[in-house]
Structure 1
Amino acid sequence: MAPKDKPLTGKIDASRIKMMEVPRPEQGLIEGFKALGDASCVVSDVLDELGITGVLGASLYRPTIAGRCIVGPALTVRNIVQREHPYETARNKVNKMAEFEAHNLALPGDVIVIDGVVGISNMGGISAQTGKRQGEAGAIISGAIRDVAHSRSVDYPVWATEITPVTGKWRIQTVEINGDIDMSGVRVSPGDIVIADDTGVCFVPISRAAEVLRAATRKAQLEQEKCKVIDTGIPVYEVTRFQTDTAHKQ
């Protein structure tokens, strides 16, 4: 593996990499969010209550592997469209994609988050396999991906807005790694906590992550209590009253 103290290739100027190392979460944060299971709904409720914008639905960011739930720090990438015509860049083999620089910087458990280009693949099978080899939890991509069967075969889950066979190699330019990005109106910074499951994706600012985890843990415990009460067979109107009572406790 290439050393992490310098760029892996010459495809992106080192000055475009904002941080060589992303902020790391406090000990126990990732494990705490993982313990919640498929918690995007609980975390979404908490973000609402705390006034934090950070939720994207799975109807837009569709998971490639059903039933997967990932939690990890965001390692961000920003792509734009190359100026040159793709047939010329293909003929001259001009590839300005550089998400491999992100793979090179990633630590086990990181989530690659790409502010990408629509209609063009921002990640393919080789990239996904590299991410899996690096120990990444998966990727969230605003834009298209391809080689879905390949990424599934190596068990690398991706949440993306589009799927296409059209390669980004000759069409996309990576302009920044580990800077702030925009994911469908949600600002994501390097190190923010990513929670993704079948229902959607939540981005939790790292500065608020401990606060969100505490509230989400309480809410998840109350929901478990509600489910146990429902299983006892109590009347529906009693379930409604129980929900109201526990809501006041929060």
Structure 2
Amino acid sequence: MTRETMGRIDPRLIRLFDLPAAPEGVVVALAAIDGPCELVSDALDDLGFDGVIAASVLRPTIAGATMVGPAITLRNRPLEADPFVVAREGHMNRQADFEAHNLTRPGDVLVIEGRQGISNLGGISATMGKRQGGLGAVIDGGIRDVRHSRRIGYPVWCSDITARTGRWRQETVEINGPVTIRGVPVHPGDIVCADDSAVCIIPLALADEVTRRVLKRVVTDRASLDFLATDRPLSEFPRPDARNFRE
């Protein structure tokens, strides 16, 4: 990648401040759950935050993948110039996902407010993220080189898979600022939880309470499954009080 083809972004738009740390134990506790999004979704419902995006909307590229980690955010916007003219004459790539990877800490999740029908992340970018210890990406928009990102174990939840590059069609305007993913606000440091069912965004201020409620549900669900593993009749199945999930 040459200086002429690398993305350019005004350094003033890259927020270099230290991201807030997740409450101790939150990421570890949620990541230890097999398929955590259902329980996280229920807890977010109880707390009145609509932070769930269905996996049929943002589809995972690697079946069975799960990731839980703090968000590092990036926002793209369309370029007004004719992309074919830019590609033919300018060769100026204004995407700057590599700058976000440069700020990535091990365990971070890249969250991109991007464009539909074009790539916001390709194979080189996925390799950068993997090299820096990023868990994967959530992208409201398209990606390409999906075979490569699958091969290196860098899962992506995205709306489109396409060969059409975004390099001449959009530009990065901010890193580590607020973004919106399918109507859900995401701030740097918010906890991203993603699996085969959904992508869930947990505001940092709710992370402790969401985790507490989720761990309580793990216990009650385990008790239900233990009962179902017996030969006892379903008429004896314990019906949990809905309040148990909210207290």
- TM class by smaller structure: over 0.9
Offset of residue 33 of structure 1: 1.1
TM-align CA RMSD: 1.3
Q: How far apart in 2 are the matches of 1:18 and 1:123?
A: 20
Which of residues 201, 204, 216 is equivalent to 1:203?
201
Identity between Structure 1 and Structure 2 (%) = 47
The TM-score with structure 2 as length reference comes to 0.93
SS of corresponding position for 2:148: helix
Offset of residue 69 of structure 1: 0.6
Q: Which runs of structure 2 are paired with 1:9-24 in the superposition (5 Å)?
A: 11-24=8-21
- Cα deviations by residue, 1:183-225 (Å, 9 ceiling, x for unpaired): 1010000000011001111000011101110111101111111
Q: How far apart in 1 are the matches of 2:97 and 2:120?
A: 8
Q: Which runs of structure 2 are paired with 1:46-125 in the superposition (5 Å)?
A: 46-91=43-88, 92-125=90-123
Q: How far apart in 2 are the matches of 1:246 and 1:196?
A: 28
User: Can you give the 5+ residue segments of structure 1 that lack an aligned partner in the other structure?
Assistant: 1-8
- Cα deviations by residue, 1:49-107 (Å, 9 ceiling, x for unpaired): 11112101100111000111100000001011111111111121011000111000000
Q: How far apart in 1 are the matches of 2:130 and 2:99?
A: 14
Residue type of the alignment partner of 1:100: F
Q: How far apart in 2 are the matches of 1:154 and 1:20?
A: 30
Q: How far apart in 2 are the matches of 1:129 and 1:234?
A: 52
Contact 1:77 1:115 in 2 (8 A): yes
Q: Which residue of 1 aligns with 2:27?
A: 30
Q: How far apart in 1 are the matches of 2:28 and 2:95?
A: 33
Q: Which residue of 1 aligns with 2:130?
A: 132
Q: Which residue of 2 aligns with 1:149?
A: 147
Q: Does residue 249 in structure 1 map to residue 230 in structure 2?
A: no
Q: How far apart in 1 are the matches of 2:231 and 2:175?
A: 53
The TM-score with structure 1 as length reference comes to 0.92
SS of corresponding position for 1:75: strand
Q: How far apart in 2 are the matches of 1:106 and 1:18?
A: 12
User: Can you give the 5+ residue segments of structure 2 that lack an aligned partner in the other structure?
Assistant: 1-5
Offset of residue 18 of structure 1: 3.1
Contact 2:7 2:92 in 1 (8 A): no
Q: How far apart in 1 are the matches of 2:178 and 2:151?
A: 31
Q: How far apart in 2 are the matches of 1:124 and 1:11?
A: 17
Which of residues 178, 184, 204 is equivalent to 1:186?
184
SS of corresponding position for 1:151: helix
